[in-house]
Amino acid sequence: MKTYKDFDNYQKEFPDAKGYFGKYGGAYLDEMLVPAFEEISHSYQEICHSAQFINDLRRIRREFQGRPTPVYHCERLSKKFSACQIYLKREDLNHTGAHKLNHCMGEALLAKFIGKKKIIAETGAGQHGVALATAAAYFGLECDIYMGEVDIAKQHPNVIRMKMLGANVVPVTHGLKTLKEAVDAAFEAYCREYETAIYCIGSVVGPHPFPLMVRDFQNVVGVEAKEQFVQMTGILPDAVCAAVGGGSNSIGMFGAFLNEPVDIIGVEPLGRGSNIGDHAASMTFGTEGLIHGFKTITLQDENGEPLPVYSIASGLDYPGVGPEHAYLRECGRVNYEAVTDEEAMVAFFLLSRLEGIIPALESSHAVAYAIKYAKEHPTGSILVNLSGRGDKDIDFVYEKYGDGTELLKKHGYEV
Ligand SMILES: *Cc1c(COP(=O)(O)O)cnc(C)c1O
């Protein structure tokens, strides 16, 4: 088991040259894709250290994305439970309303630097598609987003957004017509077009070098948050937490705290409960296996096929986690806890009513954990990565829970 004292040089040493975090990660690729991924890897290693790349990215973050995003002290929410203070890193205030733009702008800038004309990706709920279409518009790149026909029908507003931003939304019409088929279709397109196009992944998942690249682009979240928190309070938080789907906003938050005496908690979706198909808690119920070209902890059947997953937050329903999370748990540095749909919904309404911040359903899972933490820790502080805003979720929430009064009453809150 490792402690924070073992993490001083961690990001330089992990992943290794082949993309492994311990036994997790790597690049298990179709032979046709090997040259394309090697090109991305080499270009990235070369370009990421160049002063021009770093300066461009800094300027984009400041002028286009609105970084740094603030850290905010939730005084009214904190008062409800104990003397433990809850703070938020406001990634919901990023342009487009979530952390995903942090890595999409980085990936698109890389595409520009290596002279590609097009960026390609798949999307499930449409959040990654919208962030990438935004980046494509900014850089003047073509953008093909592969999306299952079923998801296209379900996620109408995001489909419209992508089209407004000038992206091609390519319907995927085979199989179950959802995310899995869209991933396959995007990879096939990349195979055909890799001389002029680059594939852009949506989280710290996929074959090497994506978990490394996306981590690097998200690192800014934790670096900013640590400095801001210390400036506000004079000390480090006792704990930091973030919701884990594929794991990008959480890896971004955790990086700067790994070598500090701070408890770190990743929060998974427990959905409706522990039965297969009712949750997407890969760390809690998963086993070691291969998914989408890398080794990690995944929810899989006896044949290694991904199991069906569910969460009220569509950005969290992935049957695996980024390989770095699998490693950070194995070596004991990060703990993973699961939160149900209902706990997340209570947190959603409490944060909205007590602080005037409507969180994304994904981020509500992290807030729900912070509430549990505050109940168990009468003093100290916890810093939550609020990965996105909830505007995208309000119609669905209102239909299911109204304004939340009943749910809050059921849980003993008079607000
Ligand atoms: C996509 C998304 C997530 C989950 O993705 P990670 O890669 O695990 O961060 C979390 N929050 C929001 C708001 C999202 O859009």
Would you tell me how many other CB atoms lie within 10 Å of the CB of residue 411? 13
In testing the pocket of ligand 1, which one of 88, 251, 362 has its CB within 8 Å of the most ligand atoms? 362
**Residue 377 in contact with residue 345, Cβ under 8 Å?**
no
Could you say which DSSP state residue 279 is in? -
> What value, to the nearest 5°, has the Cα angle with vertex 121 and ends 115 and 124?
165
Total count of residues recorded for the chain: 415
Res 143 pLDDT > 90: yes
Res 414 pLDDT > 90: no
Ligand 1 centroid from CA 391, angstroms: 14
Q: What is the mean pLDDT of the chain?
A: 97
* Residue 110 zone, left/alpha/beta (φ > 0; ψ -120 to 50; rest): alpha
How confident is the model over 355-374, as pLDDT tens digits? Answer: 999 999 999 999 999 999 99
Residue 154's pLDDT is: 86
Residues whose CB is less than 8 angstroms from the CB of residue 49 and which lie 6 or more positions away in sequence, other chains included: none
In testing the pocket of ligand 1, which one of 128, 249, 318, 384 has its CB within 8 Å of the most ligand atoms? 249
Residue 2's pLDDT is: 96
- The structure tokens listed for 144 are 């093909």
- Give the pLDDT mean for 387-395: 96
Q: What is the spatial distance between Cα 308 and Cα 311, in angstroms, rounded to a whole number?
A: 11
Ligand 1 centroid from CA 414, angstroms: 30
Using DSSP, state whether 145 is helix, strand or coil: strand
Ligand 1 pocket residues where CB is under 6 Å? 98, 100, 127, 203, 243-250, 315-316, 360, 362-363, 387-388
Question: Same fold for the domain at 19-62+100-210 and the one at 66-97+219-410?
Answer: yes
- Ordered by start, the domain boundaries in the chain are 19-62+100-210, 66-97+219-410
Residue 284's pLDDT is: 98
| CA within 13 Å, CB half, 166 | 12
Atom of ligand 1 nearest to the CA of 128: 1
Kind of pairing between the strands at 287-291 and 294-298: antiparallel
Question: Is residue 74 annotated as a catalytic residue, yes or no?
Answer: yes
Using DSSP, state whether 293 is helix, strand or coil: coil
- Give the pLDDT mean for 305-316: 94
- The structure tokens listed for 66 are 């609105």
Catalytic one of 74, 84, 143, 200: 74
Res 243 pLDDT > 80: yes
How confident is the model over 120-130, as pLDDT tens digits? Answer: 999 999 999 99
Atom of ligand 1 nearest to the CA of 203: 7
Q: Which CATH number fits domain 66-97+219-410: 3.40.50.1100, 2.60.40.10, 3.40.50.300, 3.30.420.40?
A: 3.40.50.1100
In testing the pocket of ligand 1, which one of 127, 215, 265 has its CB within 8 Å of the most ligand atoms? 127
Residues whose CB is less than 8 angstroms from the CB of residue 225 and which lie 6 or more positions away in sequence, other chains included: 71, 89, 240, 253, 256, 383, 385
Question: Binning pLDDT at 50, 70 and 90, where does residue 179 land?
Answer: confident
Residue 349's pLDDT is: 98
Residue 415's pLDDT is: 73
* Residue 20 zone, left/alpha/beta (φ > 0; ψ -120 to 50; rest): beta
Ligand 1 centroid from CA 115, angstroms: 29
Strand-pairing partners, residue 21, are 24
Ligand 1 centroid from CA 226, angstroms: 20
Q: Is the peptide bond before 378 cis (omega within 30 degrees of 0)?
A: no
Q: What is the spatial distance between Cα 20 and Cα 295, in angstroms, rounded to a whole number?
A: 9
Residue at token pair 């690049």: 27
Atom of ligand 1 nearest to the CA of 245: 8
Question: Binning pLDDT at 50, 70 and 90, where does residue 238 land?
Answer: very high
How confident is the model over 245-263, as pLDDT tens digits? Answer: 999 999 999 999 999 999 9
How confident is the model over 59-116, as pLDDT tens digits? Answer: 999 999 999 999 999 999 999 999 999 999 999 999 999 999 999 999 999 999 999 9
- The structure tokens listed for 116 are 């590609």
Res 312 pLDDT > 90: yes
Could you please state the CATH topology (level 3) that the domain comprising 19-62+100-210 is classified under.
Answer: Rossmann fold (3.40.50)
Residue 80, class by beta-carbon neighbours within 10 Å (0-12 exposed, 13-18 middle, 19+ buried)? Answer: middle
Residue 401's pLDDT is: 98
Torsion of CA 355, 359, 362, 366, to 10 degrees: -20
Question: Binning pLDDT at 50, 70 and 90, where does residue 180 land?
Answer: confident
Residue 340's pLDDT is: 98
Question: Is residue 84 annotated as a catalytic residue, yes or no?
Answer: no
Atom of ligand 1 nearest to the CA of 251: 9
Res 178 pLDDT > 90: no
Catalytic one of 48, 99, 143, 279: 99
Residue 339's pLDDT is: 98
Percent of the chain with pLDDT over 90: 96
- Give the pLDDT mean for 321-350: 98
